[in-house]
């Protein structure tokens, strides 16, 4: 009897989750249909990025401001021995940063242009981590153009 009750509850929760996913997809399509056209951006990722932009996306006056909000703005990370090195700003919205990471990982795996870029930059001596830093910044720039303002 307990297993049957748990089974019915699991089915009900799965049905509710599907319904919520449909509602979220509808909302994202209404608010930012262009954002879903960006390679690697799905409904969940788009929803996280739109939530990061907030109810007042006009405050994001530039793509650099959006990158800073998402925690992908480059900061100088030089020491006495090295120069011209950067790291990503660790501040910002961590969920938005993770959304950009998911987009980059999808592109690194499936997008031929991104794969070629990663190969080229790796041959130039950049580590995978540094290449991902640059790609996250590029993706933030591209996503910013598709976030509705006004």
How far lies 31's CA from each of 36, 54, 136, in Å?
Answer: 10, 12, 23
**What local confidence, expressed as pLDDT, does residue 82 receive?**
63
Q: Say what the pTM is.
A: 0.85
The answer to whether residue 31 scores a pLDDT higher than 90 is yes
pLDDT > 70: what percent of the chain?
Answer: 93
Average confidence (pLDDT) over 132-150: 91
Average confidence (pLDDT) over 94-122: 96
| Helix H or strand E encompassing 76 | strand 74-76
Instruction: Determine if residue 38 is left, alpha or beta; phi over 0 gives left, psi from -120 to 50 gives alpha, anything else beta.
Output: beta
Q: What pLDDT digit, counting tens, does each position of 40-98 carry?
A: 999 999 999 999 998 777 788 899 889 989 989 877 777 666 666 677 677 788 999 99
DSSP 58-82: GG--SHHHHHHHHT--EEE---SS-
């Amino acid at each position: 009897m307990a297993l049957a009750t748990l089974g019915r509850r699991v089915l009900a929760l799965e049905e509710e989750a599907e319904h919520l996913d449909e509602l979220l997809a509808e909302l994202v399509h209404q608010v930012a249909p262009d954002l879903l056209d960006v390679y690697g951006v799905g409904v969940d990722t788009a929803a996280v990025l739109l939530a990061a932009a907030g109810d007042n996306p006009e405050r994001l006056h530039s793509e650099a401001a959006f990158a800073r909000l998402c925690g992908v703005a480059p900061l100088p990370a030089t020491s006495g021995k090295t120069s011209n090195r950067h790291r990503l700003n660790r501040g910002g919205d961590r969920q938005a940063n993770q959304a950009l990471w998911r987009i980059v990982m999808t592109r690194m795996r499936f997008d031929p242009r991104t794969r070629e870029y990663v190969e080229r930059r790796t041959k130039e001596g950049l580590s995978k981590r540094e290449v991902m830093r640059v790609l996250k910044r590029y993706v933030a720039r591209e996503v910013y153009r598709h976030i509705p303002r006004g």
